[in-house]
Chain A
Amino acid sequence: MATLDVAGVTKSFGTTQVLHGVDLTVADGEMIVIVGASGCGKSTLLRIVAGLETATTGRISIAGRDVTGLEPADRDIAMVFQNYALYPHMTVGQNMAYGLRIRGLPKPEIAQRVTEAATLLGIESLLDRRPRQLSGGQRQRVAMGRAIVREPKLFLFDEPLSNLDAKLRVQMRAEIRRLQRRLGVTSLFVTHDQTEAMTLGDRLVVMHAGHAAQVATPMEVWARPADTYVAGFIGSPAMNFLAGTLADAGQAVALAAGPVLRFADGPRPGPEGLPLTIGIRPEHIEAGASGLTLPLDLVEPLGSETVLHGRLPNGEALTVKLAGPAPAGPAIQVTLPAAALHVFDAASGKRLDR
């Protein structure tokens, strides 16, 4: 059990810079999920924490000890890989015992710990099998078991669920969460799946092109995204973005699509006419008898709800999610509730608050 400190970590492979200064503080027992699009540097960051890659600059500390220059073996961490990386020539039991044997633990204690972990994960009956005789889900459990028996300071997960089928993934997700809570081990979990991120993390790190775009709780990331990237990445269907300018002494936005909307939560700083990007989630848009006309070009019925895609008269795309069945007709009237608006500076993409 320990804290983790990542301070100003950058990483370049040759001339391409992959991480541009990442800072992160993880509290004791916390589960942090690193989420982001493919290639944004999630795995690289995790591997730097593990000691499998060396950071170009910056420091890593685990439990207050600077481990930047240490070998993975000296960091007291455990990692679950996407392909599980089980030792193919060892049985499940030997796989789990390997790290303990290296540590020179007495045989009875190794046996006891392995049995305990196996029971916890429900794989006692598999201890004598070899990895190739296991299903994907069972391998996943063994990989978890191998991490657990070590009782490390830090768990690292690199997309451990992405090779499982959808149903098993949901099940293992819950299981990992329960296990992590129960053992109270500080954890870093990498995924590109936003549902996984929202449900697993105490806090999320949304990575974008080698930066940590936002570090916050899942609800905060959803309710108050720090920039347009985060806003568009979290939430499904993705948030709508509309162009506008600051108007009425910062009290309102004049949308390019026509209406002028007053901010519900007070004025924004900035000069009159400042270009803004207004974000609104599809589920927050209201359909009614009046408002903007939205000609529809695609209707997706999902049973309990309906997703409608259309284009506003000024050419901007808008997606609307409505409860219930699809409305009849080629167009609907929509209104954008002021309380649901997210305001971003159009130039920097950053959130503009009061």
Chain B
Amino acid sequence: MKKTLFKGTALPLLLLAPQLAVTCVFFLWPAGAAIWQSVLQEDPWGTRSEFVGLRNFAEVLVEPEWRGAALNTLVFSTSVAVLAMGTALFLAVQADKSIRGANLYKTLLIWPYAVAPAVAAVLWLFLFHPSIGLIGRALNQAGLDWDYKLNGGQAMTLVIIAAAWKQVSYNFIFFLAGLQSIPKSVLEAAAIDGARPVRRFWTIIFPLLSPTSFFLLVVNLVYAFFDTFGVIHALTGGGPGKATETLIYKVYVEGVQNVNLGSSAAQSVILMVIVIALTAVQFRFIERKVHY
């Protein structure tokens, strides 16, 4: 890599300033405020607050609703990651086969990524609404009792699909790049060694994609944990009941609807710790270059 040397520290600091400012204003400051908030107990009008140490955390961790949301998050994020990555890998393999079509494919598959979460959710809403949605009505006519506003399982399925759909394009780009970086001659050698396409996929392509897959797994989990508020909010609002209330959604419910700022802050600090842990794991493994 090329290194540029600067004389003194003024110029480098100046060049870094915008990035540092953004990080401070939109990340460090709110994060600090959340941590500070999480050790306080405040009345709903914000008139009085007292220091309570880790009590907010202790209360959150034993709360059944929080545990329910944690379980939802586990189901939700695992499903989103598996669905989004599986679909993306399948599409990438198809695109890789016919490089001729790859450009069209790529353009089509990148679109979802550019759609705002709420807009995407409205799209899915119009598809799956039980009475006006295209697919929702078809499901009902087919005899399936489809109403995600009443059925928690159906609601979860819907938000999983909607959230995964948005992530497919991102995964696709990485998988396609990963596939194209595998030398063609390696696959040809495997073919000559007697491996049929399916076997080639599982013994050569899949292992060689493992660094990409691992990277994407972490990215997808982080996405499902933190970046899906908009989708859930617009589609189900965490309902029916609390069937689609994930941890990030619960932070919102607790802080904005119930105005329980101390608890909400404690929950967001917990999420922050999770994302830091995930990122740390990722860096550890990426440095070790997973598998080869």
Q: Which residues of A contact B (CB under 8 A)?
A: 50-52, 71-73, 77-79, 81-83, 85-89, 98-99, 102-103, 130, 132, 146, 150
Can you pick out 16 interface pairs between chain A and chain B where the beta carbons lie within 8 Å of each other? A50-B188, A52-B188, A52-B192, A72-B188, A73-B195, A78-B192, A81-B185, A85-B183, A85-B185, A85-B189, A88-B292, A89-B208, A98-B195, A102-B194, A103-B194, A146-B189
Nearest B residue to A152 by beta-carbon distance?
B192
Which of chain B's residues 181-207 have a Cβ closer than 8 Å to chain A? Answer: 183, 185-186, 188-196, 199, 203-204, 207
Q: Are A85 and B194 in contact (CB under 8 A)?
A: no
Nearest B residue to A71 by beta-carbon distance?
B191
A residues near B195, Cβ cutoff 8 Å:
73, 98, 102
Nearest B residue to A147 by beta-carbon distance?
B192
Q: Are B192 and A73 in contact (CB under 8 A)?
A: yes
B7 at the interface (CB under 8 A from A): no
Given A81-B188, A83-B185, A102-B199, decide whether A89 and B292 contact each other with a Cβ distance below 8 A. Answer: yes
Nearest B residue to A94 by beta-carbon distance?
B203
CB distance from B98 to the nearest CB of A (A): 16
Counting chain B CB atoms within 10 Å of each CB, the highest count among A52, A82, A89, A150 belongs to A89
CB distance from A321 to the nearest CB of B (A): 40
Nearest A residue to B191 by beta-carbon distance?
A72
Given A88-B186, A89-B292, decide whether A102 and B207 contact each other with a Cβ distance below 8 A. Answer: no
Counting chain A CB atoms within 10 Å of each CB, the highest count among B191, B192, B291, B292 belongs to B192
Counting chain B CB atoms within 10 Å of each CB, the highest count among A50, A51, A85, A132 belongs to A85
Q: Is the interface of A mostly helix, strand, loop or mixed?
A: loop
Q: Are B291 and A79 in contact (CB under 8 A)?
A: no
Q: How far is the CA of A77 from the CA of B194 in the complex (A)?
A: 9
Q: Are B292 and A52 in contact (CB under 8 A)?
A: no
Q: How far is the CA of A15 from the CA of B204 in the complex (A)?
A: 34
Q: How far is the CA of A130 from the CA of B291 in the complex (A)?
A: 11
Q: How far is the CA of A52 from the CA of B186 in the complex (A)?
A: 12
B193's partner among A51, A88, A102 (CB-CB below 8 A) is A102
Counting chain B CB atoms within 10 Å of each CB, the highest count among A50, A86, A102 belongs to A102
Number of interface residues of B (CB under 8 A): 20
Q: How far is the CA of A73 from the CA of B197 in the complex (A)?
A: 10
A residues near B193, Cβ cutoff 8 Å:
73, 78, 98-99, 102, 146, 150
Nearest A residue to B290 by beta-carbon distance?
A89
Given A72-B188, A79-B189, A81-B185, decide whether A89 and B194 contact each other with a Cβ distance below 8 A. Answer: no
Which of chain B's residues 121-158 have a Cβ closer than 8 Å to chain A? Answer: none
B residues near A77, Cβ cutoff 8 Å:
192
Nearest A residue to B193 by beta-carbon distance?
A99
Which of chain B's residues 1-52 have a Cβ closer than 8 Å to chain A? Answer: none
Q: How far is the CA of A122 from the CA of B199 in the complex (A)?
A: 30
A residues near B190, Cβ cutoff 8 Å:
87, 98
Return the 3 tightest CB-CB contacts between A and B, nearest first. Answer: A99-B193, A85-B185, A85-B189
Given A73-B192, A79-B192, decide whether A88 and B185 contact each other with a Cβ distance below 8 A. Answer: no
Q: How far is the CA of A73 from the CA of B196 in the complex (A)?
A: 7
- 19 further contact pairs, Cβ within 8 A, besides A73-B195, A79-B189, A88-B208: A51-B191, A52-B191, A72-B188, A72-B192, A73-B191, A73-B194, A78-B192, A79-B188, A81-B188, A83-B183, A85-B183, A86-B189, A87-B189, A89-B207, A89-B292, A98-B195, A102-B193, A102-B195, A102-B199
Q: How far is the CA of A150 from the CA of B210 in the complex (A)?
A: 28
A residues near B292, Cβ cutoff 8 Å:
88-89, 130, 132
Q: How far is the CA of A77 from the CA of B192 in the complex (A)?
A: 7
Q: How far is the CA of A51 from the CA of B192 in the complex (A)?
A: 8
Q: How far is the CA of A274 from the CA of B140 in the complex (A)?
A: 90
Q: How far is the CA of A239 from the CA of B208 in the complex (A)?
A: 50
